[in-house]
């Protein structure tokens, strides 16, 4: 029996085959994938966003106190606990992706984490950025896109990253108070509203106008974050005094002034807009299947989106079931993260049972940084590029080659490369590649050739 479809299930949809996955998926590849549509589980012992913000507030207070006392402790040493938290988050996600028995769900988490990109750009955002995918994205991964969208846009990481937590309506009570007392107001910030429309929902050509951005920005004034050093609640906080009063009109629809729910009502309508259904469906199909996804596949996903009100589980099921998702020839070049994870899954060299797991996974995070794919390091709300041309430069490929060779050298167990090829690639391993690997001078060299083969580098 051919195992081409099982290989596609484990490598194109999943994060790379390991153990007996191809054999497990062979009888019903689509059914096997549907069992993966389950919420990724994180290490709940790690800090949540509220704890991270408290940790940062303590850092700021300590820094201020040491400055007043003219102590000489460096900022780097004081930031060390925050950086450690960042590495713990990234290591936890990487480790769980590598060892998961339902890696398709982790691929989908990676996709939506990049779709709603926030960057660990220093200061508070270093440890706070990873909490967005853990608290807002993962729990809503297979529910309605509207719930996911609201959870993301009201999360402290997104509000702070795009400067909305200090956005003040020009005619708000707070702005009027500041004017009356001759104090300068910070004013309204349009960053989050612009990215919601341009990147998170309708797309740059979705048909909205500048006025829609401005109206959405006014609707979400007052969407802020509680201050850990104060007596406020944790997480999202609606500051009514900063909210721009009045009715808002977005895409021709009027929204009454209902305070915090005015912005939420707009988001929920955006989530089921045809342009959003088209934009996100195409982006998901591009990530999963091809840099130029089949139009019929995108059409079917968009139709299901609109039919179900943006139910992500149903849209993803259409993606799984569509025949054009199962083209035999690999269509996508693996990103550095996909490559690294699939290598680790193939060689089974990272396991919770092994010693120095934290040190080992920190090394993997540093490797991704060297490959240009640092976790939460896109540096832009647009996220990392999701097409092969962004990752196939000569320097990028040489970095992969160098790392793969060093990785193989460190393996304690010498693996038969041709036997491993059967386990992780099955019948998709071409005869030319098999011949090259069989002629290698050593098993170590043969394994390097396998991991750098076209069949392994693409999915």
**pLDDT tens-digit series, residues 88-125:** 999 999 999 999 999 999 999 999 999 999 999 989 99
Quick: pLDDT tens for 311-342. 999 999 999 999 999 999 999 999 999 999 99
- Ramachandran angles phi, psi of 232, nearest 5°: -85, 165
Please check the confidence at residue 352 and state whether its pLDDT lies above 60: no
Average of per-residue pLDDT across 236-263: 97
Neighbouring residues of 59: CB distance < 8 A, sequence distance ≥ 6: 78, 79, 81, 82
Task: Indicate the DSSP class of residue 414.
Answer: P
Please check the confidence at residue 170 and state whether its pLDDT lies above 90: yes
Count CA within 13 A, CB hemisphere, residue 360: 16
Please check the confidence at residue 351 and state whether its pLDDT lies above 60: no
Tell me how far apart the alpha carbons of residues 339 and 392 are, in angstroms, rounded to a whole number.
12
Quick: pLDDT tens for 1-48. 578 999 999 999 999 999 899 999 999 999 999 999 999 999 999 999
Quick: pLDDT tens for 257-314. 999 999 999 999 999 999 999 999 999 999 999 999 999 999 999 999 999 999 999 9
Helix%, strand%, coil% for the chain, nearest 5: 60, 5, 35
Mean pLDDT of the chain: 93
Of the candidates 98, 107, 96, 102, which has an alpha carbon nearest to the alpha carbon of residue 21?
A: 102
- Helices assigned H by DSSP within 72-167: 75-99, 103-115, 125-128, 131-132, 145-153, 156-161
Q: For a pLDDT cut of 90, what percent of the chain falls above it?
A: 85
User: pLDDT grade, residue 231 (50/70/90)?
Assistant: low
Q: What is the SS3 string spanning 302-328?
A: HHHHHHHCCEHHHHHHHHHHCHHHHCC
As given in the structure block, the two tokens for residue 341 are: 């994870």
Quick: pLDDT tens for 69-98. 666 566 667 788 899 999 999 999 999 999
When computed from its CA atoms, the radius of gyration of the chain, rounded to whole angstroms, is 24
- The b/e string for 299-330 (b: 16+ C-beta within 10 A; e otherwise) is ebbbebbbebebbbebbbbbbbebebbbeeeb
């Amino acid at each position: 029996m051919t195992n081409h479809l099982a290989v596609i299930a484990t490598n194109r949809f999943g994060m790379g085959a390991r153990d007996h996955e191809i054999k497990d998926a062979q009888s019903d590849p689509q059914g096997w994938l549907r069992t993966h549509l389950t919420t990724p589980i994180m290490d709940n012992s790690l800090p949540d966003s509220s704890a991270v913000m408290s940790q940062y507030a303590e850092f700021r207070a300590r820094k201020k106190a040491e400055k007043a006392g003219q102590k000489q402790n460096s900022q780097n040493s004081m930031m060390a606990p925050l950086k450690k938290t960042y590495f713990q988050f990234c290591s936890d996600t990487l480790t769980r992706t590598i060892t998961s028995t339902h890696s398709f769900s982790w691929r989908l988490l990676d996709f939506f984490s990049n779709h709603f990109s926030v960057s660990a750009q220093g200061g508070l955002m270093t440890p706070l950025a990873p909490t967005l995918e853990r608290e807002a994205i993962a729990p809503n991964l297979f529910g309605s896109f509207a719930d996911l969208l609201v959870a993301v846009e009201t999360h402290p990481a997104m509000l702070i990253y795009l400067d909305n937590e200090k956005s003040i309506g020009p005619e708000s009570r707070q702005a009027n108070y500041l004017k009356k007392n001759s104090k300068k107001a910070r004013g309204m910030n349009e960053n989050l509203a612009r990215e919601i429309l341009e990147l998170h929902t309708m797309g740059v050509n979705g048909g909205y106008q500048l006025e829609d951005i401005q109206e959405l920005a006014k609707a979400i004034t007052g969407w802020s974050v509680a201050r850990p050093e104060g007596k406020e609640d944790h997480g999202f906080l609606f500051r009514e005094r900063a909210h721009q009063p009045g009715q808002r009109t977005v895409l021709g629809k009027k929204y009454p002034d209902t305070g915090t729910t005015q912005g939420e009502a707009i988001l929920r309508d955006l989530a089921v807009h045809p342009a959003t259904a088209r934009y996100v469906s195409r982006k998901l199909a591009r990530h999963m299947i091809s840099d130029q996804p089949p139009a019929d596949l995108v059409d079917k996903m968009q139709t299901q989106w609109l039919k179900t009100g943006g139910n992500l589980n149903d849209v993803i099921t259409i993606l799984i079931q569509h025949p054009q998702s199962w083209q035999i020839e690999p269509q996508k070049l693996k990103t550095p993260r996909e490559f690294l994870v699939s290598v680790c899954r193939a060689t089974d060299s990272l396991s919770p049972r092994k010693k120095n797991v934290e040190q080992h996974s920190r090394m993997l995070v540093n490797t991704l940084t060297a490959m240009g794919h640092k976790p939460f390091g896109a540096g832009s709300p647009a996220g990392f590029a999701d097409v092969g041309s962004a990752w196939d430069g000569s320097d990028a490929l040489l970095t992969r080659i160098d790392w793969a060779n060093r990785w193989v050298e460190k393996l304690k167990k010498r693996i038969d490369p041709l036997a491993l090829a059967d386990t992780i690639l099955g019948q998709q391993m071409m005869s030319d590649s098999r011949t090259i690997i069989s002629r290698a001078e050593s098993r170590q060299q043969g394994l390097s050739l396998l991991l750098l083969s076209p069949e392994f580098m693409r999915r």
